Amino acid sequence: MATLSDLRGILADSGYQRDAISAIGAATPLGRTVDPARLEEITSAPTRANTAARLFYMARAVPRADAEALLAPLGCAPLIGAGLLHEDGDRVRAECAVLPVNDLLIARDFESWATGRPMGTDYVLGVGLATRMLAEFTPRDSRNLALDLGTGQGYQALLAGAHAGRVIGTDINRRALRLCGWAVAMNGKSNIELREGSFFEPVQDERGRFDLIVSNPPFVIAPPHDMAAIGGRWEGDRFVEQLLRDIPEHLAEGGVAAVLCNWHHPTPEAWPGRISAWIEGRGVDAWIVQLKHDDPRTYATNWLRESASVESEAAMIAAEAKVDSWLEYYRRIGVGAISLGIVRLRRRTAGPGGPANFIRAESIPMDKHTAPGGAQALRVFDNEVMLRTARTPADLLGHALRLSPDAELHQRLRPAKGAWAPQASVLREMKGFEFPIGLDGLTSAVLARLDGARPVRVIVQEMAGAMKADPEVALSQTAPFIEKMLRTLHLERAGGP
Ligand SMILES: C[S@@+](CC[C@H](N)C(=O)[O-])C[C@H]1O[C@@H](n2cnc3c(N)ncnc32)[C@H](O)[C@@H]1O
């Protein structure tokens, strides 16, 4: 019997792919109301792909016969039964947009250009930039129990469902859970459970048992408003504060969390202060990367423009007029600058012989990152424990280390005397943050020899012997270099983090 999980294949077969949607999207310039006549023209040919685009992207009612042809052999009935389609005379229309995103089908609310209506307070957002960024920063190793807090359309939960045994997605927005439920069914997932409620309230029984927690919270810092998806009635960055304070006790030992968020600080330089204080002393190690920061005016202007761009030019002008009231609000609550960053946490009970829990905070521009970057966070946690356990850099030489599987040496060569002479060699991580580091011939040779099977000390002594160099000198020179390579994540312990 055909089920909702067949819809993905049926729509792909109709040609309703990302490209078909992009063609229509290209005709909907940012900040302008769409010309409906133009959209009708683009999708006028009687193809199944056009029926799909009209029904599931443009919020049009389409003739039932066309919908049946599109959805065969599933047909309209199961979608009507699920509430995803509504009958409208001899036509049907969809309750929400259904869009292919990578290999998944996602259900989200229609955009304002399609419905002609502004977003409601229970509006369910689609897969946006922040959604994708969090997904790229999330560790994707095998996990038992995962939580997606504020699951919305469910993208994070669906991705977690591929590498976690069981996933719980929570949200306070009942409509989001409805749409997410359709996405779970459409993607044939049987290990994702959805629960309604605020913060950790719906998962109290699982407290301390999560191996992975992901959250793309409502983090926009704005005067209180009614749209829960982007911040709602929380003052400043209080939602993010509460979330980061509460995550640690819900993680299992070794469990990791990934949160993408904004937070504010009194001056641009003071960015690590408040956010670190929320995490400190809670039994987790943390890696906080500030990806960018904005002054209050730039931040307010960008968000107001972004939220208006889906409506109309008039909405854009009205939005810009609100900037001053946002700035007044920022003055009142002491916002001097606003950061965007990715926070990764790992629960670790610091025992005797091990280092205290740590917070590593650094600023790295977004463009120095290549997806996927989740594995790099696990390497940070492992390497920092090694670095903090060593009493001197020489202690690090006792570990069997190897190059990160994502490291590449990039060389620039110039012709010289009939051959190519290296001008510069730069080691880079090709997944996650780059951490570019210039190497010379000797250091790159040492790195290449590290096999992860024997301690670094043995390999360096061997190389010194072959080069007739003093092994003690070679070891003392290598130790600080190894320390630097561990910190910059180009090296890892054998067996991986
Ligand atoms: C920015 S959306 C993220 C949606 C989706 N996870 C993503 O990555 O695109 C934030 C979600 O958090 C939900 N939310 C807001 N307040 C919440 C709360 N107190 N507890 C749980 N979820 C909440 C919103 O309804 C919304 O679905």
CATH code (residue 425): 3.30.390
Task: Give per-residue pLDDT as tens, 78-94.
Answer: 999 999 999 999 999 99
Give me the mean pLDDT over the 19-39 stretch.
62
159 C-alpha to center of ligand 1: Å? 16
Co-location of 412 and 355 in the same domain: no
Is cis: bond before 202, omega within 30 of 0? no
Of the candidates 423, 264, 245, the residue with the CA atom closest to the CA atom of residue 333: 264
Co-location of 155 and 282 in the same domain: yes
Co-location of 60 and 187 in the same domain: no
Of the candidates 218, 278, 274, 289, the residue with the CA atom closest to the CA atom of residue 248: 278
Type of residue found at 340 = L
Q: Which two tokens stand for residue 108?
A: 């989200």
> Does 454 reside within a domain?
yes
Residue 483 pLDDT: 98
Q: How many domains does the chain have?
A: 3
> Does 187 reside within a domain?
yes
Mutate-to-test residue for ligand 1 from 172, 303, 342, highest number of ligand atoms within 8 A of CB: 172
407 C-alpha to center of ligand 1: Å? 35
> Does 326 reside within a domain?
no
Of the candidates 143, 151, 414, the residue with the CA atom closest to the CA atom of residue 256: 143
Co-location of 86 and 142 in the same domain: no
- Cβ atoms 425, 444 nearer than 8 A: yes
> Does 102 reside within a domain?
no
Of the candidates 496, 497, 494, the residue with the CA atom closest to the CA atom of residue 400: 494
Give me the mean pLDDT over the 378-393 stretch.
97
Type of residue found at 201 = E
Give me the mean pLDDT over the 269-278 stretch.
98
Half-sphere exposure of residue 292, counting CA atoms within 13 Å on the CB side? 9
Strand runs (DSSP E) across 377-418, as ranges? Answer: 401-403, 407-416
Co-location of 254 and 149 in the same domain: yes
Co-location of 251 and 270 in the same domain: yes
Co-location of 429 and 367 in the same domain: no
Residue 25 pLDDT: 64
> Does 109 reside within a domain?
no
Co-location of 179 and 248 in the same domain: yes
Pocket of ligand 1 (CB under 6 A): 125, 131, 134, 149-153, 155-156, 170-173, 176, 198-199, 216-218, 228-229, 232
Identify the CATH number of the domain in which residue 290 sits.
3.40.50.150
Task: Give the C-alpha separation, 18 to 46, whole Å.
Answer: 19
pLDDT band at 31 (very low <50, low <70, confident <90, very high): very low
76 C-alpha to center of ligand 1: Å? 30
Co-location of 90 and 138 in the same domain: no
Co-location of 360 and 403 in the same domain: no
Q: How many helices and strands (H and E) does the chain possess? A: 19, 20
Q: Which two tokens stand for residue 369?
A: 């990152």
Give the residue numbers spanning the domain of 470: 393-493
Task: Give per-residue pLDDT as tens, 366-375.
Answer: 888 999 999 9
Co-location of 137 and 47 in the same domain: no
Co-location of 349 and 438 in the same domain: no
> Does 247 reside within a domain?
yes
> Does 117 reside within a domain?
no
> Does 329 reside within a domain?
no
Sheet containing 164-171, strands listed edge to edge, beginning at the edge strand earlier in sequence: 192-196, 164-171, 143-149, 210-215, 251-265, 337-347, 284-294, 359-363
Task: Give the C-alpha separation, 201 to 195, whole Å.
Answer: 10
Give me the mean pLDDT over the 466-479 stretch.
96
Mean pLDDT of the chain: 93
